Structure 1
Amino acid sequence: MNPHHDAASSQPPSSAAALIPQTGASQSPRAAADGTGGAEPVATVDSKAHELPAGAAGLIGLLLVSAFVVILNETVMGVALSRLMDDLGVSAATGQWLTTGYLLTMAIVIPATGFLMQRFTIRQLFISAMSLFTLGTAIAAIAPGFEVLLLGRVVQAGGTAIIMPLVMTTVMNLIPASRRGQVMGTMGIVISVAPAVGPTLSGVILASLSWRWIFIVMLPIAALALLLGLWKVRNLTQTRPAHLDAASLLLAAVGFGGLIYGLSLLGEGAGHAPLAPWIPLVVGVSGIAVFVERQNRLLRGRGPLMDVRVVKERSFAISLGVLIIGFMALFGGLIVLPLFLQNVLGFTTLKTGLLMLPGGLTMGLMSPIAGRLFDRVGPRPLVTPGAIALSGGLWILSTLHPGSSVALIVVAHCVLMMGLAFMITPLMTTGLGSLKPELYPHGSAILNTLQQVAGAAGTALFISILSTTTSSHIARGVDAATANAEGVQQAFMWGGVISIVAVLASLLVRRPATIPTQRVPLH
């Protein structure tokens, strides 16, 4: 037992601990080949295996609250960009770097989190991540000009990139397999509600205050999370030696950074990109190919930065593939639907944010339910209906036109988000749960890295289709509102086509054949 693990760690704040279910059925975990939680047995453990280590509930609760804050920060900038560009006197291409720079920093840092989580303790990583995020928020709040504001966003992104993989890895290490669905479902609230609340919060603030207040409001919350971390976070997992390969880090930055930058350029539309998108895309894909090859060679030496063997695990690979399609739909929809509400229906930024809110709240409400059901029935009875709901929501949205009712839009968005709730939690839990415990950091690093790629790809796909279709209709003399509506229809239609792949792939999802049962040592 580590002397730092004192009484403070065993008495978490009730508000944080409330996020983690403290009681529940202690049924033996089940796994069946059909994914329905049938009678085929797997390794079981005694009742103590269902108990959380002392301090785990408070720790994960604090991690989830912190993750909510950093994800909220990711989504508030879209609504504020127009005001920022006016106040700072920068062009749209320059202002877009506040989002692009953030995504690039995430793409560079996340691949290294597998190494970081092996080499450093939970306490060290949490304090470092929240210190970076708090510092970046403070810099952004007082920024005298665009360059300093961009610096603040980059520093923020450095902290954000560490938090989400840290949450996932900590959950997998500390939570018994029979209760992971519940906790991952709670994490689904963070993933879903924060992006929904972000634009609404930004719209409310900008309705009466300057853009600086977006960061000023967030600063005390981030600082409080940091102070609670300094006070409460203790080390509940063990570190182990790990080698940081500088060449791999550089290749990851070039590969994933180039890919995401190229996709973001595609999303800017023809004629607006400062560089031909194919250039960074080719550089990115080439960099990733060399990166993967180097990781395979390092397996025979001092160890890889990112252990790519995890994608050879069938359950992880299938779950990851379906998740990628889900995140493409999520981020693409978050971009295109607000554009329809504003450019076609003429709604204000605030009203648009409020209309997007029910979908996010629906996903947040259903995620814990999906998590609890996962612990009982396994992934496939949840993922396949979820994928069907996702597809149905996209196809309904593909019928939008200038006369569409607000009720139809809200209902379709809620159906889409409910489908995602029944996909994301089971797929994350299934995918990571199929790995050996020592591969959790690498699995979460790959999952979070490809989530960023999927978000950029979804945005690029939806915006490119919308822009191309809108431009072609305007060139034929169609009015702007109708042309934009046609573009939105096409974007969601192609999203619906891709979602059919997710429906078919969901039929292959299985609960892992075995469940890791080792107890995490407290120290």
Structure 2
Amino acid sequence: MSTQIQVKNPKTMAFILMLGAFAGLFGETALNMALSNIMEQFSVPAATAQWLTTGYLLVLAILVPISALLMKWFTTRQLVIGGLTISLAGAILAALNISFSVLLLGRVVQAIGTGLLLPVMLSVMLLIFPIQKRGVVMGLMGLVITLAPALGPTLSGVIISTLSWPYIFWFSAIAYVLLILVAVVKIENVSEITKPKIDVSSILLSTIGFGGLIFALSKMAEVAISSPKVWAPLVVGIIALLSFGIRQNKMAQPMVNLSVFKYPMFTLGTLTMFLGILIILSTGILLPLYLKGSLLFSAAMAGLLLLPGNAVNFILAPIVGALFDKIGARRFTIAGFIFVLIGNIVFLSTISSQTPAWQIVVPFMILFFGLSMVMMPAQTNAMNQLPRELYGDGSAAMNTLNQVAGAAGTAIAITVFTSGQNSYVMDFPNATQPEILAAGIKYAFYFITGISVVGLIGSFFVKRPSTVTEKSPAVIQKAEAVSR
């Protein structure tokens, strides 16, 4: 049977949702190039400045699972317009450049808006387009998910060099205003309002669980894992998440229906997305540091050197989407992770303080060539196995873990990078700062390479899901005829 809901302007709705999500996900990494400027302007240390990124991811991870509940209480129009309006308020607060506290508050508010938009985007896309067009649509959505955080350092580097960092938020604000104006006219309601009972305990457990986990991961970059600042929130977070899971399974109307993880291809697809986002966010914070601090490029030039990799993703993602239904997820994810692994191996063999720029540009292009073949097929294959009534829960679960992956990737990459620098200084006490930084970056890429290997192994277990909800009527009729 068909799961499509008829709307007047499905393409326009898709455009609004994708562009809103793009602006929000772009915000995850947009300040990576500006952190040194912000530290100098507001006289804050690196550990404090990093909260502009970590705090953003923390709010997303807390809010996204709650959004599964919100989608059952509020209409699509209310959530989309509300999310865009809140994002606009956050962007304006950050752009005003009053103080570091106001900047951080603006980031938090903007993250709340993004946290509302992301799950709605995925759920609505699955409802307003027919199954035979899902590959192309999910290809474009995969492009948004991968391109936005990857493009953050590139665009922000150019903006910082030509204008100043607050313009990152002014441009975002303009985009949000235009999107709100179009959304008021074009967004239609497609979600089913059931208004389930609000379980305060579930909200608290989810907030403490994901908040504790991401806080602990962010602190790993500053202090040892043996420090109470790391293990205490980590233990509390894990206990809260386990309690959250147990409570959801016992509830008649859970906040997030964890039965989505009983579908093996959904679970594997979500894990694949987790690893892909982890790689994207790790490289997204490491390469700008390397290009600026070791190879001594300007912010604009560092951003432009990352542009070819983003261009590969931009070109390839829609093509992968168009070919998805013919080729399937398995072949794409296997080939994709092979390219990701090759890109990382090249990075490991070339990174130094004297590396020519082209030897960074080429493996980055190879990396994103592979990621373009991984992200959309993994996400589409995962969601295709779920029945329609679980789209919202599956979307919330997947997006939550994506935000955890982003925070984990950022925190672990910086932790391994710092450890690599310290080891290099012990072995070579007279090394220059660019050499030390390059050694730390190279050390961190061993971690990213290991993640690529895990992803490649997992890709061999991918299968095409075979649930009734993902079959077209013609396929169902053919199956019935064969069974007779």
TM > 0.5 fold call:
yes
Task: Describe how 1:6-21 pairs up with structure 2 within 5 A.
Answer: none
Q: What is the 5 A alignment of 1:446-485?
A: 446-476=397-427, 477-479=429-431, 480-485=433-438
Equivalences for 1:143-154 in 2 at 5 Å?
A: 143-154=97-108
- Counterpart in the other structure of 2:288: 338
Match among 458, 461, 465 for residue 512 of structure 1: 465
Q: Does the 8 A contact of 2:149 with 2:281 survive in 1?
A: no
Are positions 1:284 and 2:237 aligned together?
Answer: yes
Could you say which residue in structure 1 is the equivalent of 2:363? Answer: 412
Within 2, Cα distance between the matches of 1:57 and 1:238? Answer: 21
In the alignment, is residue 85 of structure 1 matched against residue 39 of structure 2? yes
**2-side partners of 1:196 and 1:455: how far apart?**
12
CA–CA separation in structure 2 for the residues paired with 1:53 and 1:232: 10
- The one-letter code sitting in structure 1 at the alignment partner of 2:205 is L
One-letter amino acid of the structure 2 residue matched with residue 256 of structure 1: F
Q: 1: distance between equivalents of 2:203 and 2:187?
A: 29
> Is contact 2:28–2:57 with CA below 8 Å preserved after alignment?
no
The SS at the match of 2:72 is helix
The CA deviation at 1:51 is 9.9
Report deviation, 1:327.
1.5
Q: Distance in 1 between matches of 2:27 and 2:451?
A: 29
Tell me what 1:386 maps to: 336
CA change 1:478–1:243 in 2 (3 A) is farther
1:130 corresponds to 2:81: no
Letter in 2 for 1:240: T
Match runs of 1:152-231 below 5 Å: 152-231=106-185
Within 2, Cα distance between the matches of 1:460 and 1:152?
22
Question: Counterparts of 2:223 and 2:412 in 1: how far apart (Å)?
Answer: 10
Which deviations, in whole Å up to 9, do the C-alpha atoms of 1:203-254 show, x marking residues without a partner?
Answer: 2222243332222222111111111111221213432232221111111110
What code does the residue aligned with 2:338 have? I
Aligned to 2:206: 252
**TM-score normalized by the length of structure 2:** 0.92
CA separation of 1:91/1:461 partners in 2, compared to 1, >3 Å: closer, same or farther? closer
In structure 1, what is the equivalent of residue 446 of structure 2? 493
Aligned to 2:353: 402
Q: Distance in 2 between matches of 1:282 and 1:195?
A: 29
Q: CA deviation at 1:517?
A: 5.9
- The alpha-carbon deviation at position 386 of structure 1 amounts to 0.5
Shift of the alpha carbon at 1:73? 2.2
**Unpaired stretches in structure 1, ≥5 consecutive residues:** 1-42
**What is aligned with 2:193?**
239
Give the superposition deviation at 1:515. Answer: 4.3
More helix by share: 2
Q: Does 1:57 align with 2:4?
A: no
**Shift, 1:109, TM fit:** 0.6
What one-letter code is carried by the residue in structure 2 that aligns with 1:261?
A: F
Mapped to 2, the partners of 1:268 and 1:171 lie a distance apart of: 40
Partner residue in 2 for 1:295: 248
Is structure 2 residue 323 aligned with structure 1 residue 323?
Answer: no
Aligned to 2:326: 376
Structure 2 residue identity aligned to 1:190 = V
After superposition, the C-alpha distances for 1:242-285 in whole angstroms (9 at most, x for unaligned) are 222111111111001111111111134659x9962222211111
Q: How does 1:101-112 map to 2 (within 5 A)?
A: 101-112=55-66
Say which SS state the counterpart of residue 78 (structure 1) adopts: coil
Q: Is residue 362–residue 417 contact of structure 1 (8 Å, CA) maintained in 2?
A: yes
1:29 aligned residue: none
CA 1:79–1:363 in structure 2 vs 1: closer, same or farther (change >3 Å)? same
CA contact (8 A) 1:430 1:512 kept: yes
- 1:422 aligned to 369, 373, 386, which one? 373
Compare 248-257 and 486-495 and name the one that shifted more: 486-495
Equivalent-residue separation in structure 1 for 2:113 and 2:36 (angstroms): 25
- The structure-2 alpha-carbon separation of the partners of 1:478 and 1:335, relative to structure 1 and needing over 3 Å to count, comes to farther
Cα 1:96–1:463 shift into 2, 3 Å: closer
Determine the C-alpha separation between the residues in 1 that align with 2:154 and 2:109: 24
Q: Could you report, residue by residue, the CA deviation over 1:452-495 in whole angstroms, capped at 9, with x for unpaired residues? A: 11112222222222111111211331513333222222211232
Matched residues in 2 for 1:498 and 1:99: separation?
22
Runs (4 or more) in structure 1 with deviation over 3 Å come to: 49-53, 268-271
Distance 2:377 2:471 in 1: 21
Aligned pair count reads 469
Query: Aligned pair in 2 of structure 1 residues 454, 222: CA closer, same or farther (>3 Å)?
Result: same
Match of 2:477 in 1: none
The structural deviation recorded for 1:445 is 0.6
| 2: CA distance, partners of 1:225 / 1:440 | 25
Residues in 1 aligned to 2:443 and 2:47: alpha-carbon distance in whole angstroms: 25
RMSD after superposition: 2.2
Indicate how the Cα distance of structure 1 residues 482 and 357 shifts in structure 2: closer, same or farther if over 3 A, else same: same
Q: Does 1:308 align with 2:262?
A: no
CA separation in 1, counterparts of 2:271 and 2:402?
10
Match among 352, 365, 368 for residue 315 of structure 2: 365
TM-score of the aligned structures, taking structure 1 as reference length: 0.85
Deviates more, 1:51-60 or 1:123-132: 51-60
Q: Which piece of structure 1 moves more, 183-192 or 435-444?
A: 183-192
Gap change, CA 1:415 and 1:434, over 3 Å in 2: same
Farther-moved stretch of structure 1 (365-374 vs 205-214): 205-214
How far is 1:53 from its partner?
A: 4.1
1:373 maps to amino acid: L
Distance in 2, Cα, partners of 1:319 & 1:116: 24
Alpha-carbon offset, residue 198 of structure 1: 2.0
Q: Post-superposition shift, 1:181?
A: 0.9
Q: Residues of 1 paired with 2:457 and 2:212: CA distance?
A: 31
Whole-Å separation in 2 of the counterparts to 1:255 and 1:446: 14
Conserved 8 A contact 1:52-1:176: no
Question: In 1, are the aligned partners of 2:123 and 2:392 still within 8 Å (CA)?
Answer: yes
SS in 1 for 2:306: helix
Tell me how far 1:66 sits from its aligned partner: 1.4
